[in-house]
Amino acid sequence: MKNIIVKTGFLGFLFLAFGFSYNYYQIFYSKNTNFPNEIVYLYISTGSGFDNLKSNISPYLKDTISFFKAAKKKEYINIKPGKYAIKKGYSNNDIITSLRSNNIPIKVIFNNLERLEDLADKISNLIESDSLALMNSFTNDKFLKENNLTKESVFAIFLPNTYEFYWNTNANQFRDKMLKYYKMFWNSSRIDKAKSYGLNPVEVSVLASIVQRETPKIDERPTISGVYYNRLKKRMKLQADPTVVYAIKQKKGFDTKIRRVLYKDLKIKSPYNTYRNKGLPPGPIYMPDLSSIESVLNLESHSYLFFVADVKSPGYHMFSNTLSQHNRNKRQYTSWLRKNKIKR
């Protein structure tokens, strides 16, 4: 009888141990995902608590109760913001491990932007910070003063490229990292080149933005850079059509389509209108790519002062030393405009 009791007790212990082990396995190590894709990404906002996490993660789980039991037992209480991967077939233990330590960096790519506002809109779709917070950060008075920038010239510090950020990056963190990359790009060699032309890094970017809007042809940009440099040296007005286009858009809206600059446009009162004002405009009229910046730093040395579109070679220009020669070159362009009935 005694042996029967011992055996029964032992079997009961084994049953309890098995039940505990099975329950433990179910809570921590059995598969607990419920989505058809191989992977989903969970975005956890800054300041999120457990309730926020619950509403975000529940649609991807087969058993939410077991997940929160596992989270409690593993003392997962510090909810970290960011972007996290949950793979199909993950257990609760896998999910919690990912949420604790695997904040995934994202690629942030930007280029071909016309204004600081466009950049803020673009970035707000890639990281947690919204466009208003980004704009406030970019144009913060203290930041501008500390870095000798203005609300117009600050656009120059954002160099188009591919970068890595965490999704939960805030506006100031984004701005400061961009400034860091800007300072890295502007090494002593580039600064010395800029100085040799009497320019600083921001002025190089402003000029590069005009050059880029003048031509899509990278091989021609050093030549056009040389024209504008010659004009600056002679204290002539740049008379750059892209700056007039920018002034028009400021007035009428940046979605305005402009294929032709008219004589009346040259009278627009704007600090960006280089037909009215000498020197460079107060800030970039476009986000210049690195090739445009390099075209200014390695501008072509020549005596050209004028250029006009070459209709026989789309995208390229005809260059001249004198106004009379320029006017002759210009006739082929104005004739082409009339022929194609391009009035605006």
C-alpha to C-alpha distance for 81 and 169, rounded to whole angstroms: 9
pLDDT class for 8, splitting at 50, 70, 90?
Answer: low
Portion of the chain with pLDDT greater than 70, in percent: 92
**8 within a domain of the structure (yes/no):** no
**13 within a domain of the structure (yes/no):** no
- Give the pLDDT score at 25: 65
Q: CA nearest 153: which of 278, 246, 247, 287?
A: 287
CA 30 → CA 56, 65, 85, 89, 153, distances in Å? 21, 13, 18, 8, 56
Query: What are the tens digits of pLDDT across the range 119-159?
Result: 999 999 999 999 999 999 999 999 999 999 999 999 999 99
**46 with 123, same domain?**
no
Final residue belonging to a domain, choices 162, 185, 208? 185
**217 with 332, same domain?**
yes
Final residue belonging to a domain, choices 101, 125, 152? 101
C-alpha to C-alpha distance for 213 and 114, rounded to whole angstroms: 10
Overall number of domains in the chain? 3
- Determine the structural domain holding residue 245 and report its residue range: 188-339
**289 with 177, same domain?**
no
Query: What are the tens digits of pLDDT across the range 300-338?
Result: 999 999 999 998 888 899 999 999 999 999 888 888 888
**10 within a domain of the structure (yes/no):** no
Q: Which two tokens stand for residue 15?
A: 């049953």
C-alpha to C-alpha distance for 158 and 39, rounded to whole angstroms: 33
- Give the pLDDT score at 19: 47
**172 within a domain of the structure (yes/no):** yes
Q: CA nearest 52: which of 80, 31, 86, 27?
A: 80
- Give the pLDDT score at 180: 97
Residue type at position 123: I
Query: What are the tens digits of pLDDT across the range 88-100?
Result: 999 999 999 999 9
**91 within a domain of the structure (yes/no):** yes
**149 with 96, same domain?**
no
- Give the pLDDT score at 295: 98
C-alpha to C-alpha distance for 289 and 226, rounded to whole angstroms: 18
pLDDT value at 11 more than 70: no
More confident position, 334 or 205:
205
**195 within a domain of the structure (yes/no):** yes
What is the average per-residue pLDDT within 297-301? 98
**285 with 215, same domain?**
yes
**175 within a domain of the structure (yes/no):** yes
Final residue belonging to a domain, choices 81, 101, 121? 101
**120 with 78, same domain?**
no
Q: Strand locations in 100-146, DSSP E? A: 105-110
What is the average per-residue pLDDT within 236-257? 95
pTM score of the predicted model:
0.88
C-alpha to C-alpha distance for 17 and 282, rounded to whole angstroms: 76
**14 within a domain of the structure (yes/no):** no
Average pLDDT, the chain: 92
**212 with 329, same domain?**
yes
